[in-house]
Every structure is written in C-alpha cells, then in structure tokens.
C-alpha cells in the first residue's frame, strides 16, 4: 500500500493482490466457519477489508447468503433509517474526445447528435428540474476541452445555483459534479465553485481491460484517471464519489479493487469515498450489449449491493435509472441510499419534449422512466422518507467531519428531521393531492418516532413554518 500522494495507480490497485484475493475467496466460498467469522465481524458496523468483503460476495452457502442479505438490510436500517436521497442528472454537453468503446459519446460514434447547452438552455433545464421538486443535481459532461471547456462548466455551475423555480424560494442547493479527471489546479477551482461531491467512475480498475475499453483520448491514461481522487482530495475537495461500470470486467475484480481504492484514500486522506455508484452497462446508440461478456445479472448485482453495504456501512450507495423499478426496490431494501428520479440522460429535454430528446442524444437507455412525483408516491407507499436534504454539506458537515459525525451516530439526530423537513417542502410546493396526503401521514408518524424531545419540538415548529411559506429550514 502506498501512503504518500501517488502518481502511479498500480501502487494501490495491486493486480496481484486482487488476483490473490479472488483465489482465496474462490477456495473458501464454502468455508462456513470463515464466512461466519466475517459476518460476525461485520455486525459491529466497522466495515470489512477488501478480502473479507469479497469472501461474502462469492459465498455459495444458501443459509449464509440469507444472513448476508439480512445483515445488509439491518445495517442499512441502522445507519440510514428509511430515508432515501433523491437527485437528477443534468447532462450539459455530449461532445467528447475520448474513444471509450462502451459509451455513445465516443469520438468515433458518428450518429450521436452532438449538443452543448447554452447558459440560457441550462437555466431552462434547471428551472424545469426545480419545478419538478429537485434540489440536488449531478452535473454531467463529456470530455472535450474545445467544445466544453472548464470555464463553460464553471459558468454552468453559477447558472445552476442562480436559477430559481416558478416560486423564487425554490433553488438547486447542491451540485455534484461528474466531469473528467483533471489537475490539482483545476480541482481547486472546482472547489471554489462550491460543489458538493466530485464524482468520477473508474469504469474498470483492470489496467489491461481499461486500456482496451479506452483506446484513445485523455481518458486512455489509466494512471491519470485512477489517481484523480488523490488530486481532488489534495486540492481540498471535501467529498469524492467513486464507482465502476459493471459489465466491463469480472465483477469480483472491480468490487475488490474499488474497496482497495477506498482503503488507499482512507490511509492517505483519512477519508474514503462519500458515495459509491454502481452503474451497470446499458444499451445505447451504437453500443451493442452482446459484445460485453462480463455483464452482471440481477441476482449478482443485488449481492454486490449487499456486500458493499456491509463493507462500507457509512458510504452512500447510489443507483440510477439505469435500473428498473424492481431492482431499485430490492436495492433500497439491502443498501442503496440515493437514487435519481425523473431522469433524462439526453442533452436538454427536461424543459422540452422529452421523447424527442431521448432519441437523439441520450447517453444510455433508462429503465425507470417514472416521473419524480410517481417515484415519491412509490417511496411513500413503501414507507420510505423521500429526502431532498442538503443540510450536511451546507452546515459544513463534510469530509472527515462528516465521517466522524456519522460514525459516532450523532448524524442520526439531524438526518431524519432534515429529511422530513425537505419532504414537507416538496409536499407543499409540488405534490399532487394523493402524494400530499400519503406524505403528511408519514411525516406525522415519523415525528412521533423522534426520540430527542427538543429536536421533536423544533421539528414540529419548523413544519409549521414551512406551512407558513418559509423555506430551506434545516438542522
Ligand atoms: N466526463 C465523464 C466521462 O466522460 O466519463 C463523466 C460523464 S459520463 C456522462 C458518466 C458515466 O456514464 C461514465 O462514467 C460511464 O460510467 C457511464 N456510461 C457511459 N456509457 C454507458 C453505457 N453504455 N451504459 C451505462 N453507463 C454508461
């Protein structure tokens, strides 16, 4: 393991250690005693190392697998309660100079309609998202320094934060940013723009496959891409979000490597990823799924979610609308804490005719096409609290402070009341009558469950304030 600022990814993504871990796990996948010991260890909510977590992932004992899923569910409930954070992606440009073979943005893809939103178009898109009820955005763009410069991205961030909805009280309160790996200097500038999490998917940690799937363009540099989070954290960005694109490589390899990446960041920066995203490869324009032999089936995918939840109890797990309603429901049950809703992956379309845009410039096909309102109603029916909360980030509960706060359990005193308050705002401003009724009922039940009397009284007072048109109230 490398305990200094790394410039060489292979110092912490050690291929031999990954292979050793896979061999060890495969040899012990039926070793009941060993697996039981790891499950026991995980019950203390301190997480697992990559080798232990992989053993659970490959375990093939039916009863033990049932225990693994039930432990993941318990950990999820203990740490996150029934809150589900919601966000929407905003794709602003699909110009790209990379040759990623799985992505329709690929420079060689001639039929993808290229588009970059003007600042006015961004404003319109953001207003449409705000008027749906969104408060959090994941800003997405391809990598093309001529057609989509960093200055353009910075302007877009300003535009997003400055846009208001029909009701001027409604704004986007947190922008997570998913743009290409860059320099420390640029990450510093990004930090100054007051972003939430900097997100970058590794796609695959397997160097050989990485180079096969990223043959050309700036992204083809494995080491530069893999050390991006080191640079982002070194630049002072508080929260980083990791992820792999499942389907490119053997899932066991990328599962293990992602945890090694987390161990590396923790060793050096005392902070692991704020979130882990687990996208699966999807069909897209000129992208033929049958060419990807490592595609992950639903059963394995759910096991991956459960084992991540057990391995990194305090890290948010994100799944997008790449997944359908059934997988999202199961995922939420065993570990997922954030989902996107009402999403479009096309450039523009939130403020225009959705179908027209989806056909022309979408990054991948979404499987969950429900509106945000439909998703909120569905979550309420399942007894989840849909949350648009952005309080931690705005109260500077970020980085190591956030981790300390969540590990000692203090965060729970705030998270549920904040989720309730953000839901109340949604119900007041955007919900249809049936959603409003269902949501109000859930809020009343949830307030009863708040143990701290002081926090309970304040929450009731804040709810009244929201009813009296005050907004953006949080602990
Ligand atoms: N600038 C970054 C880039 O170009 O990779 C981030 C933006 S990209 C729009 C976001 C993510 O979409 C990529 O990191 C990749 O994992 C994912 N993606 C690309 N092609 C995909 C596909 N066919 N199916 C599912 N996800 C895909």
Domain membership of residue 1 (yes or no) is no
Pick from 142, 363, 366, 367 the residue to mutate for probing ligand 1's pocket: most ligand atoms within 8 Å of its CB. 363
Read off the pLDDT of each residue in 14-35 and give the average, rounded to a whole number: 98
Ligand 1 centre from 220 Cα, in Å? 14
Percent of the chain topping pLDDT 70: 95
pLDDT band at 55 (very low <50, low <70, confident <90, very high): very high
Ligand 1 centre from 103 Cα, in Å? 6
Read off the pLDDT of each residue in 36-45 and give the average, rounded to a whole number: 98
410: how many CB neighbours lie within 10 A of its CB?
A: 12
Domain membership of residue 237 (yes or no) is yes
- Is 293:422 a contact under the CB 8 Å cutoff? no
pLDDT of 344 over the 70 cut? yes
Rg, the chain, Cα only: 21
Nearest to 260 by CA among 51, 35, 34, 47: 51
CATH code for position 176: 3.20.20.70
Which pLDDT score, from 0 to 100, does residue 155 have?
A: 98
Nearest to 260 by CA among 49, 90, 418: 49
Domain membership of residue 419 (yes or no) is yes
Model pTM greater than 0.75? yes
Ligand 1 nearest-atom number relative to CA 203: 16
Domain membership of residue 383 (yes or no) is no
Euclidean distance between CA atoms 389 and 419, whole angstroms: 6
pLDDT of 1 over the 60 cut? no
259 lies in the same domain as 406: no
For 168-208, the DSSP string reads: TT-B--EEEEE-----HHHHHHHHHTT-SEEE---B---HH
For 112-155, the DSSP string reads: SPP-B--HHHHHHHHHHHHHHT--EEEEEE--BTTTB-HHHHHH
Pick from 95, 150, 178 the residue to mutate for probing ligand 1's pocket: most ligand atoms within 8 Å of its CB. 178
Ligand 1 centre from 241 Cα, in Å? 14
Domain membership of residue 417 (yes or no) is yes
Domain membership of residue 379 (yes or no) is no
Which pLDDT score, from 0 to 100, does residue 413 have?
A: 73
167 lies in the same domain as 277: yes
- Is 366:343 a contact under the CB 8 Å cutoff? yes
Euclidean distance between CA atoms 236 and 193, whole angstroms: 12
Give the total number of structural domains in the chain.
Answer: 3
17 lies in the same domain as 46: yes
Which pLDDT score, from 0 to 100, does residue 275 have?
A: 97
70 lies in the same domain as 87: no
Whole-number Cα distances in Å, 435 to 169, 287, 329, 424, 429: 21, 38, 18, 11, 12
53 lies in the same domain as 87: no
368: how many CB neighbours lie within 10 A of its CB?
A: 22
Which pLDDT score, from 0 to 100, does residue 279 have?
A: 97
Domain membership of residue 387 (yes or no) is no
Average per-residue pLDDT in the chain?
A: 94
Percent of the chain topping pLDDT 90: 84
Tokens of 132: 């749906």
308 lies in the same domain as 163: yes
Which pLDDT score, from 0 to 100, does residue 356 have?
A: 61
Which residues surround ligand 1 with Cβ inside 6 Å?
Answer: 102-103, 140-143, 178-180, 201, 203, 245, 279, 281-282, 284, 287, 322, 363-364
Which pLDDT score, from 0 to 100, does residue 401 have?
A: 72
pLDDT of 83-99, one tens digit each?
999 999 999 999 999 99
- Is 357:103 a contact under the CB 8 Å cutoff? no
Read off the pLDDT of each residue in 338-356 and give the average, rounded to a whole number: 85
Which residue is closest in CA terms to ligand 1's atom 26?
281
pLDDT of 137-155, one tens digit each?
999 999 999 999 999 999 9
Tokens of 3: 């305990």
pLDDT of 363 over the 90 cut? no
Burial of 456 from C-beta contacts in 10 A (0-12 / 13-18 / 19+): middle
Ligand 1 centre from 455 Cα, in Å? 41
Domain membership of residue 3 (yes or no) is no
Read off the pLDDT of each residue in 116-124 and give the average, rounded to a whole number: 97
Which residue is closest in CA terms to ligand 1's atom 16?
245
Nearest to 251 by CA among 288, 226, 280: 280
304 lies in the same domain as 319: yes
- Residues in CB range of 311: below 8 A, 6 or more apart: 42, 47, 48, 49, 50, 52, 53, 259
Read off the pLDDT of each residue in 298-302 and give the average, rounded to a whole number: 98
For 116-128, the DSSP string reads: B--HHHHHHHHHH
359 lies in the same domain as 440: no
140 lies in the same domain as 164: yes
130 lies in the same domain as 40: no
Ligand 1 centre from 130 Cα, in Å? 24
Using CA of residue 298, residue 304, residue 306, residue 309, what is the dihedral sign? negative
Read off the pLDDT of each residue in 428-446 and give the average, rounded to a whole number: 98
235 lies in the same domain as 220: yes
Tokens of 385: 């609290």
3-state secondary structure of 65: helix
pLDDT of 58 over the 70 cut? yes
pLDDT of 284 over the 70 cut? yes
Residues 240-269 as b/e (b if ≥16 CB within 10 A, e otherwise) read bbbbbbbbbbbbbbbbbbbbbbbbbbeebb
Beta partners for residue 41, in sequence order? none
Q: Which residue, of 28, 46, 76, is where some domain finishes?
A: 76
pLDDT band at 398 (very low <50, low <70, confident <90, very high): confident
pLDDT of 405 over the 80 cut? no
Which residue is closest in CA terms to ligand 1's atom 14?
201
Ligand 1 centre from 361 Cα, in Å? 13
Q: Which residue, of 369, 390, 425, is where some domain finishes?
A: 369
Q: Which residue, of 30, 59, 76, is where some domain finishes?
A: 76
- Is 475:455 a contact under the CB 8 Å cutoff? yes
pLDDT band at 285 (very low <50, low <70, confident <90, very high): confident
Euclidean distance between CA atoms 160 and 152, whole angstroms: 12
Q: Which domain holds residue 425?
A: 398-467
pLDDT band at 358 (very low <50, low <70, confident <90, very high): low
Ligand 1 centre from 206 Cα, in Å? 17
406 lies in the same domain as 356: no
Ligand 1 centre from 141 Cα, in Å? 9
Residues 155, 158, 160, CA angle at the centre, nearest 5°? Answer: 110
Which pLDDT score, from 0 to 100, does residue 355 have?
A: 61
Which residue is closest in CA terms to ligand 1's atom 11?
201
Euclidean distance between CA atoms 376 and 20, whole angstroms: 44
Residue owning tokens 């320094």: 145
């Amino acid at each position: 393991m490398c305990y200094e600022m790394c410039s060489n990814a292979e110092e912490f993504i050690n291929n031999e250690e990954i292979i050793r871990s896979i061999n060890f796990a495969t040899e012990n996948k039926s070793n009941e005693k060993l697996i039981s010991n790891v499950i026991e260890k995980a019950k203390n909510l301190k997480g697992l190392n990559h080798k232990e977590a992989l053993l659970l992932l490959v375990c093939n004992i039916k009863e033990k697998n049932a225990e693994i899923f039930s432990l993941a569910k318990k950990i999820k409930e203990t740490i996150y309660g029934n809150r589900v954070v919601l966000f929407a992606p905003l794709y602003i440009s699909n110009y790209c100079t990379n040759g990623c073979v799985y992505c329709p943005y690929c420079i060689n893809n001639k039929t993808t309609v290229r588009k970059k939103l003007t600042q006015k178009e961004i404003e319109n898109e953001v207003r449409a998202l705000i008027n749906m009820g969104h408060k959090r955005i994941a800003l997405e763009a391809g990598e093309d320094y001529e057609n989509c410069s960093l200055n353009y991205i910075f302007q877009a961030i300003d535009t997003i934060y400055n846009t208001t909805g029909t009701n001027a009280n409604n704004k986007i309160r947190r922008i997570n940013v998913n743009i290409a790996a860059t320099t420390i200097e640029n990450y510093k500038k990004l930090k100054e723009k007051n972003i939430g999490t900097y997100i970058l998917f590794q796609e695959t940690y397997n160097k050989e496959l990485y180079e096969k799937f990223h043959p050309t363009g700036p992204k083809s540099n494995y080491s530069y891409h893999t050390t991006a989070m080191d640079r982002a954290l070194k630049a002072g960005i508080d929260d980083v979000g990791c992820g792999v694109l499942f389907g490119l490589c053997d899932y066991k390899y990328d599962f293990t490597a992602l945890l090694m990446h987390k161990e590396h960041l923790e060793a050096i920066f005392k902070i692991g990823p704020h979130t882990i995203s687990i996208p699966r490869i999807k069909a897209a324009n000129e992208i033929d799924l049958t060419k990807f032999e490592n595609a992950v089936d639903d059963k394995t995918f759910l096991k991956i979610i459960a084992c991540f939840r057990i391995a990194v109890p305090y890290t948010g797990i994100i799944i997008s609308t790449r997944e359908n309603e059934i997988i999202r429901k199961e995922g939420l049950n065993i570990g997922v804490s954030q989902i996107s809703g009402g999403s479009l992956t096309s450039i523009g379309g939130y403020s225009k005719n959705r179908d027209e845009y989806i056909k022309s410039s979408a990054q991948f096909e979404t499987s969950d096409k429900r509106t945000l309102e439909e998703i909120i109603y569905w979550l309420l029916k399942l007894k989840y609290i849909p949350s648009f909360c952005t309080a931690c980030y705005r109260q500077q509960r970020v980085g190591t402070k956030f981790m300390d706060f969540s590990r000692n359990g203090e965060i729970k005193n705030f998270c549920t009341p904040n989720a309730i308050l953000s839901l109340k705002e949604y119900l007041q401003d955007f919900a249809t009558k049936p959603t409003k009724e269902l949501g109000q009922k859930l809020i009343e039940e949830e307030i009863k469950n708040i143990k701290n009397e002081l926090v309970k009284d304040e929450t009731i007072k804040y709810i009244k304030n929201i009813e009296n048109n005050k907004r953006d109230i949080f602990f």
